[in-house]
Amino acid sequence: MLIATHAMHATLPFPFLPAQWTQVTTSTFGTTNVNAVTSNGDGQFIAVGSAGKVASSNDGINWTARDSQFEGSNIYAVAYGDGIYVIGGSSGKMAVSSNGVNWTLVPSSFGASTILAITYSPSASLWVAAGGSGKLATSIDGLSWTQRTSSFGTTFINALHSTSSLIVAVGYDGKLATSVNGTTWTQRSSSFVTGTIFGVSSTPNGNRFVAVGDSGKIAYSTNGTSWTQAFPATSFGASSVRAVDATQDVFIAAGATGKLGTSYDGNNWSQRNSSFGIDNINGIWTGSTFSLAVGNNGKIAYSF
């Protein structure tokens, strides 16, 4: 007996799984470390790294070096929001760009403290930057910044992430804090104890969060405030996990010695061939059909 298959069911797409990775032929970073990467969500990508290097791409594969105005200072963070890019790094340096090509330095209020993380909160209509010595600042336009009390004391803040209703900050000593407005912060129990947390992200609708850190530790949460360690262990072994991003269907995490893993739930992880060899992966960006990973020795890889 022949059983017909409805066309709708026959054409349902499988969720994008970034399992195969290819190195770009030239990243413009040479052997300089690439520390972070982001996108405006409309086909443009920006990568930043050590020695003040920044590059832009319209496809994630072909890259063009740009003048960051950092004059050799390391750049550790990049974010896009409200129509502009913001980058930050060593000695409190910060720059903005409306097109990812031309960059202008702005005063950050961080003094000599390093900026390690930047995010834009659409719900609060606010930029947030954080970094060394627990410093955290906010801005309504990315140009003028005001220091806030972060609840981290002098503990370094390594990463920031925003959803439609929550901002999460993570750092050393297992510290994790949340805020709904970017100015008032509450420390949460992260389940990392005193282990360093390097990265945090969530699904676009904010119904699942993942935080990553030292010794292969990964934690997940359904609300960003209550956290559970992945059990019994992740696929990263004892390697540090330094970056994480997500689509609505899958999480991607990566870190030391080129390790990269994917997970559908934040708890169960599978290792993938990242094409980084033993070079550390420092940053991840993913969309629904395309992903980028950046790391040491100028490496950038893509998956689609």
Q: What is the pLDDT of residues 235-294, one digit of tens each?
A: 999 999 999 999 999 999 999 999 999 999 999 999 999 999 999 999 999 999 999 999
Q: Binning pLDDT at 50, 70 and 90, where does residue 4 land?
A: very low
Q: Over pLDDT 90: what percentage of the chain?
A: 93
Beta bridge partners of 198: none
Give CA–CA dist 78/96, Å, rounded.
Answer: 10
Q: Which CATH architecture has domain 29-303?
A: 7 Propeller (2.130)
Q: Residue 210 corresponds to which tokens in the numbers above?
A: 């993942």
Cα–Cα nearest to 148, from 95, 119, 109, 92? 109
Question: What's residue 232's pLDDT?
Answer: 80
Q: Binning pLDDT at 50, 70 and 90, where does residue 1 land?
A: very low
Question: What's residue 7's pLDDT?
Answer: 40
Question: What's residue 15's pLDDT?
Answer: 85
Mean pLDDT score of the chain? 94
Q: What are phi and psi of 119, to 5 degrees?
A: -150, 160
Q: What is the pLDDT of residues 220-235, one digit of tens each?
A: 999 999 999 998 878 9
173-198: average pLDDT: 97
| Cut 0.75: pTM above it | yes
